[in-house]
Each structure stands twice: as C-alpha cells, then as structure tokens.
Amino acid sequence: MNPAVPEASLTALMHLLAEQALLALGVPHPMMKEIPPANPAVARFYVDLLGVLKDKTEASRNDAETRQLEDLLYGLRMRLMDLKPAAGVPEDPKS
C-alpha cells in the first residue's frame, strides 16, 4: 500500500468525518492558506454522522476506538455549542 495513504479503518473514517466537522467549524487545516468561514449547519451534519457511526458500530468497536469516538464527539459538540447558527439557517430543534 502507498505509505501516503492510510489504511482504511474505523479510526480513519472517524478522523475523516471529524476533520470535515472542524473545517466546517472554521478551524484551519494545515494544508490550507485561508481560514474557512464557519458553517454550523454543515458542522452539525458531520457531528451527527459521527453519532450515527457510534450507534451503528456499538457492538463491533474495541475499547480504543470507543474512547477515540467518544472523545471526538465530545470535543466537536463543545465547539458547536460555542458557535452561533449561520445567518438564515434555522437552529436544529433537537439540540
């Protein structure tokens, strides 16, 4: 396998979704020159996807994967709480 491409795994999927959520939260990626504008609705979508992943993989994760997923979700949800909804985008009634 190409060393520049990580192995496909649950951990890789979790981190891919978390990275997309962080970008939508306005956190710059080291490879980007500009800081993207925050988009709470898109960030919430990626956090919700991580929540679905958590629910659907409940019986098949090992302890390390469970801790990583819970830590990612906690950190992202705390960041989401610090953002105000994007202009013209209704706030999620579930939150």
For 12-39, write each residue's pLDDT tens digit: 999 999 999 999 999 887 777 787 788 9
Pairwise CA distance, residues 36 & 72, whole Å: 20
Name residue, tokens 């800081």: 35
Instruction: Tell me the one-letter amino acid at 40.
Output: P
Task: Compute the C-alpha angle 3/5/9, nearest 5°.
Answer: 115
pLDDT beyond 90 at 1 = no
What are the residue ranges of helices labelled H in 1-95? 10-24, 40-56, 63-82
